[in-house]
Every structure is written in C-alpha cells, then in structure tokens.
A and B are shown apart, each in its own frame.
Chain A
Amino acid sequence: MNRFLKILVVALLTFNIANALQKENIKETMEKKVDKAIALLKDENMPKEQRAKELFRLFDEIFDYELMAKISLGKSAWVSATKQQQERYLNLFEKRLKDSYLDKLELYNNQDINIVDLVPYKNTRLQLQTKIVAKDETYKVNYNFYNKNNNWLIYDVDLLGVSIIKTHKSQFEGILKNKTFDELLKLLEEKNIIDD
C-alpha cells in the first residue's frame, strides 16, 4: 500500500512538472509559438483541417481554456449548472475562443508581431506585452499569465484594452438575465455553426 502511494505521488508530481512553462521561458516560448502560427497561417498548401489542428496544438498547452470559460460564466452560474451542461459549455467556449483568436491572427499574418516585455501584473501574475504593427496603426495585445503549480498559463488576452474575458463575462451576464443556461448554450452553438 505504501509502495503504491509512493509511486502514485511521484507519478502525479512528474506529470505536473513535465511541460510546465517556467517564468524565464515565457517570452521565448511565446515568440516561437507566434512565429510558428504565422508561418502556418501563411502556408497555402496545407489543408485547412490539418492547419487548424497544428495551430491548436501550439496554443492548447498555454491557454487555460477551462479557467477562462469558468471565469467568463461566473461562479453562481457555473455551480448551478448540471455536469452535462458544464461539459457542453466548456466545449463550446473553447471552440469559440480558438476560432476567435485564430481569426485575429489570420487578419494580421502579414504584419510584424513583436514581443515587447514581460511585466508583473496584479501581485502574483504576469503580463506579456506584444504589439502588432499593422499598416496604419500599432495594436497592443497583452497576454495575462497566472501560475498554476509552477506552470504559467494564459487566463486572459486583451486587445487594445478590451479583455476577452471581461467581454464574454459581460455578454453572458446580459444573456443569462433573461434566458436559461440551455438557451445560452444554444446561442453559443449557433454562433459556432455560423462561423464555420
């Protein structure tokens, strides 16, 4: 019994530490990922599904979709939803987020994207400041990271000061004021279909 516990602990700890993004590596890792993403977006020869798969693979490991989904929904709405509803919501939210983010990247795939700096943010978190040098303006895009057991993950992206989490939270609150959770899920589903 003891031996089993020991192995379990070691396995769990290793699982947590492996692939963890360290603070020192954030800048370099993000730069590489963004460059790769742009290269993928510019690649006309790759079939669309494969391209989407590769792109998601790049960002899945640093975006904490689940946390973002939960914050956007808010605690009371989350805990009052059934397990089934929660699962469906997480799926739909993740898909929307990915589509939205890649859509933006694609708009600017011919522009320079520069990593500006990594600064402390709200006591325990970090903000990676980047900018997109577009044709007529420079857009500031910030990625907010939080520390989840020594692994730094993104929990919010703000484009020109507009936080995607705040925007979603505001929208969901407005919708849930008059509609049920299932109706919200339906709206999300419909949007996903339209955008495909």
Chain B
Amino acid sequence: MKKIIFLTLLGFSISSLFADDFSDFNEEFKTKKQKDIFDPLSGYNKAMTSFNDFVIINAVNPVADGYSYILPEPMRVGVSNFFTNLAFPIRFVNNILQLKLKEASVELASFTVNTIWGIGGILTPAQDELKLQRYDEDFGQTLGHYGVGSGFHIVLPFLGPSNLRDMISIVPDSYIGATSTTGQSDIGYKIPNNQAQSFGISTYNRVNKVSLNKGQYESIKNDAIQLYPFLRDAYEQRRKKQIKE
C-alpha cells in the first residue's frame, strides 16, 4: 500500500516537472486557419501599411516632437481632454443605440461636469474627482453589437487599420461629430467651416495625441515579425474586445 502511494506521489512530482501537454489551452487560443482569413485587399493593405508607417516615422513623429518641445505637457493633455470632450455626441448616441442607457447617462454627466467645471473640457474633474468612467462607443461597435461582422480588412490612408464595417461607420459618426463637416446643414454644433479646416483639426488632434505617447508606435511595431498581418490581427482582437464591452 505504502509503495503504491509513494509511486503515485513520485509519478505526480515527476510529471509536473516534465509536463509537455498544453492541449487544455487549445480551446482558448483557437485561431482561424490562415487560409480561411478572407483578405481580398491584402496587396493594397500591405502597401498602405508601408505608406502609413513611412508617414508616421517621417512626418508625424518629427512634427509631434517639435510640437512637444514648444508646448508643455500639461497643456497638451488639456488639448487631448478638450478633443475627447468634443467627441461626446458620438459616444452618447452610440451608447443609446446599443441600449446602454446607464453608460449614456454617465457620459452625459461627464460631459456636463467637464464642460462647466473643466473649462470647456480642458480639465477632467469628472474623471479626477468624481471617478466617472468613460464608455467609448462608436458606430462600428454599435453595428458589431448587433451582430454585424467586421467584413474584410482595409488599411485606410493616414487612419490606419480598419475593416469594411468600421470604415462605413466613419460616415454616421462624422455626421454626429463636431469636428467634421458632414451633415453641416442639419447639425448646428459643427466647428469647421470646410473640409480643409476639418482636416486641419483632425491632424492637430492626431499630432497632439502622438506627442503624448512618444515611443508607443515603435514599441508596438517591434512586437511584429511581419507588420501588416500583426496590425491586422491586433486590430481585430481590439475591436472584438471593444464591442464586447
């Protein structure tokens, strides 16, 4: 009897040292077979990825660096907060469309507090003092919420990785958003007067964001052995997570 117990314990200990079986993780990490990934625009996508990479390294990053040098960080954080606050209509409407009423009301509260007590959204007392959470929703997530699949992958110039569903969703979000000219005749709170101004505002927002996250793009890029498949996969994983939330 004792011998049996000893041998069992021995076997248990030894097996734990030499465990080579990782099949219980297979379920969690099941990936689509490579040949099943429908990527009709892969040639174009790869080229656009290289183009965007070139623009980031050679245009956006240097401009962001120069910009950081001129404008101190707290002010750049203020700018970022201001733009985040401006995007309120998009978050609010999409939360409502997904019937996330509690989240929509928290967003409304955030917007009100930050606009009034945060000097037009530059400061964020709603997050800092009241600890209100942000519920970042967009129309792509709304469609995803109701079961619309992502469609094939498309890399957009300047904007980066996207997919058919999310690309189409840019239109309704632009319509409600304050920083684009889409739907100017219907919506009164539009800021830019023309396309050029709209482009200028988005670019400024982008440069400001990059200036606050120096090194982030390079760090992500380093994780890739092949940049395009990596970004495509990471983008889809991220969107899935965002839709679930």
Interface on A for B, CB 8 Å cutoff?
2, 5-6, 8-9, 12-13, 15-16, 67, 70-71, 75, 99-100, 103-104, 107, 122, 134-136, 138, 146, 148-149, 155, 160-167, 169-171, 173-175, 177, 187-188, 191, 195
Smallest CB gap from B76: residue in A: A135
The answer on a CB contact under 8 Å between A12 and B17 is yes
Q: B14 to chain A: which residues have CB within 8 Å?
A: 12
The answer on a CB contact under 8 Å between B225 and A188 is yes
Say whether B230 faces chain A, with CB atoms less than 8 Å apart.
yes
With known contacts A5-B6, A71-B25, A177-B34, A136–B212 Cβ distance under 8 A: yes
Q: B73 to chain A: which residues have CB within 8 Å?
A: 135
The answer on a CB contact under 8 Å between B22 and A166 is no
CB within 8 A of B230: which of A160, A171, A188?
A171
Interface residues on B, range: 35 or more
The answer on a CB contact under 8 Å between A166 and B34 is no
| Complex interface residues of chain B between 220 and 245 (CB less than 8 A to chain A) | 222-226, 229-230, 233-234, 237-238, 240-242
Smallest CB gap from A121: residue in B: B28
Interface of B is mostly: helix
The contact sample of 24 A-B pairs, CB cut-off 8 A, is A12-B14, A13-B13, A16-B16, A70-B22, A71-B25, A104-B219, A107-B216, A107-B219, A134-B213, A135-B80, A135-B212, A135-B213, A136-B84, A149-B16, A160-B238, A161-B238, A161-B242, A162-B237, A166-B31, A167-B237, A170-B233, A171-B233, A175-B225, A191-B222
B73 to A: closest C-beta gap in Å: 7
The answer on a CB contact under 8 Å between B234 and A162 is yes
The answer on a CB contact under 8 Å between B238 and A9 is no
Interface centre among A9, A13, A155 (most CB of B within 10 A): A9
Say whether B145 faces chain A, with CB atoms less than 8 Å apart.
no
With known contacts A160-B238, A161-B238, A161-B242, A170–B13 Cβ distance under 8 A: no
Q: A162 to chain B: which residues have CB within 8 Å?
A: 234, 237-238, 241
The answer on a CB contact under 8 Å between B215 and A107 is yes
The answer on a CB contact under 8 Å between A9 and B233 is no
Smallest CB gap from A12: residue in B: B13
With known contacts A67-B22, A136-B80, A174–B213 Cβ distance under 8 A: no
The answer on a CB contact under 8 Å between A174 and B22 is no
B210 to A: closest C-beta gap in Å: 10
CA separation between A110 and B31, bound complex, in Å? 36
With known contacts A12-B10, A155-B25, A166-B233, A100–B223 Cβ distance under 8 A: yes
Interface centre among A67, A100, A107, A148 (most CB of B within 10 A): A107
The answer on a CB contact under 8 Å between B226 and A171 is yes
The answer on a CB contact under 8 Å between B230 and A75 is no
The answer on a CB contact under 8 Å between A9 and B13 is yes
